[in-house]
Amino acid sequence: MSSRYPRLSLADRSFLRFEYPNAPEHVAGLCIVEARPLLDASGRLDLEQVRRRLEARLVRVPELRRTMRRVPPLCGPPLWIDDPSFSLEHHVRTAPVAAPGDEAGLLGTTERLVAAPLDRSRPLWELWFLTGLEGGRLGILFKLHHAVADGLGAIALMTSLFDLDPDAPDPPSTEWRPAPAPAVLALFGDNVRRLAGSVTSTLGHPLRLARGLARTLRDFAAMLRDRSGAPRTSLNALPGPARRVRVVHLDLDTARAVGHAHGTRVNDVALCVVAGGVRDLLASRGERVTGLELKVMVPVAMRGADRARDLGNASGVIRVSLPLDEPDPGRHLERIAASSRSARAGQHPASGQALFGRLAAAGLVRRLTERQRMANFFVTNVPGPSVTLYVLGARVEDLMPIIGLAGNLTLAFGALSYCGRLSLLVNADAAACPDVDVLAAGMRRRWAELARTAGPGR
């Protein structure tokens, strides 16, 4: 039996327990938009009008007015409640991009903003307008805590504030009043009904429970047996407080053509580009790459796109082996695709999510992940909008994902498609990866090699 109230799931709560100052648990999206529709008569960002118009759009995303509330003992998990002191001034803010306002300056400002944790006393999101970009453009950075939604949900929440038409009218102005928080007695009763429903469901389906438990235990045993599976490299270390962000842009049609030419998927193309960059990075550090196969955590969505706007986390992970020493780009892609197919066929993403949540509940997840040797880094691919979006009339020119660091992973890669372009964004720990430009250059080199395998004209 489900709860009457919007409670945090075990997976949602795990991201709160997992967070610490040097590893904030939020995801982010970075946009580049045309500036003119958002400027006042003097050519400056009209922040007051932006806030006023965005507030009208919050009717589409009431979740953004909710804050997390812990409850008394015996009253169940924490829940989301309307923030009685909600104000967009705390969430919609501005930051300057240093001159000359190029992509490097934009990413530098982004590095500083994504490194700061969100304030847990307020709704767990921020929207930053980044001013000073060249070419009459603005940057927009949307930060959302992982406890609120996974990557697919974060993109859905973000784009719910956007429009499909530059002349889309604002929603009718309505007065918002926060709903009162439920009383303690109501929460206690709801928790009793929730637990009773869970017990009834368990007793009514004992075989299904046994199978699920056995599968989780098998996966846990396999994880313990393969604890040394991820090779020791300089990529695994505890992250510090600073970040370095770089982006590599791929043409989506070309990526599809490359995948078609080799019988693979766009996801595999992205993994191959990442592998090429990491190979050059390790080689430049004098580390062995011959015969090296890294282990990569790859999220898998566990709900359809039609449920992307649902709150909470509904994704698991699989672990993919990533060979680095294949010189031929086409053969490299095919080997990675075979490894990815094998992982999808033989692993259970839901088991990893359940295990992660239970370890977090027991207070063990941070200690284990800081010492883990299951993975060398993290790669996620989120499908983005295929049509042009507008922010208060301003056309969105580009949309890029930012994935946070965790445990002893110093690299995280996020891929997102938007309007014919696939952006691969690297989030790196500044101390462990001061040579992030070597990584980005290696990714661009491998992409150029792959693009040539798609045939003439590509």
Q: What is the pLDDT of residues 162-220, one digit of tens each?
A: 999 999 999 988 889 999 999 999 999 999 998 887 766 655 556 665 565 566 556 55
User: Which two three-digit tokens encode residue 202?
Assistant: 């368990």
Share of the chain above pLDDT 90, in %: 71
Query: Residue 361 above 70 pLDDT?
Result: no
Structural domain boundaries, residue 362: 228-385+396-452
Query: Residue 238 above 90 pLDDT?
Result: yes
Q: What is the pLDDT of residue 309?
A: 61
- 142 CB-side CA count, 13 A: 21
Q: Give φ, ψ of 144 to 5 degrees.
A: -140, 130
Q: 137-146, 279-288, 357-366: which has the minimum mean pLDDT?
A: 357-366
> How many domains does the chain fold into?
1
Query: Residue 362 above 70 pLDDT?
Result: no
Which residue's entry shows tokens 């409850």?
71
Pairwise pLDDT comparison (373 vs 268), residue with the higher score: 268
Q: 32-36, 124-128, 207-211: which has the minimum mean pLDDT?
A: 207-211
In a domain, 442, yes or no: yes
pTM recorded for the entire structure: 0.90
Pairwise pLDDT comparison (351 vs 128), residue with the higher score: 128
User: How far from each other are the two terminal CA atoms of the chain, in whole angstroms?
Assistant: 54
Q: How far apart are CA 86 and CA 225, in angstroms?
A: 49
State the pLDDT confidence band at 128, using cuts at 50, 70 and 90: very high
Q: Read off the pLDDT of each residue in 405-411 and give the average, rounded to a whole number.
A: 93
CATH number for the domain including 256? 3.30.559.30
286: alpha, beta or left? (left if phi > 0; alpha if psi -120 to 50): left
Pairwise pLDDT comparison (11 vs 81), residue with the higher score: 81
Q: How far apart are CA 291 and CA 33, in angstroms?
A: 44
In a domain, 146, yes or no: no
In a domain, 105, yes or no: no
Q: How far apart are CA 154 and CA 42, in angstroms?
A: 34
In a domain, 45, yes or no: no
Q: What is the pLDDT of residue 40?
A: 95
The string of pLDDT tens digits covering residues 303-349 is 766 665 666 777 788 999 999 999 999 999 999 999 999 998 888 77
In a domain, 419, yes or no: yes
Task: State how beta strands 293-301 and 377-382 pair.
Answer: parallel
Q: Considering the chain, what is the average pLDDT of its residues?
A: 89
Q: What is the pLDDT of residue 308?
A: 58
In terms of Cα–Cα distance, which of 4, 82, 11, 33 is closest to 394?
33
Q: 265 with 337: CB under 8 angstroms?
A: yes
In a domain, 213, yes or no: no
Q: Is the dihedral of CA 69, 70, 72, 73 positive or negative?
A: positive
Q: What is the pLDDT of residue 152?
A: 82
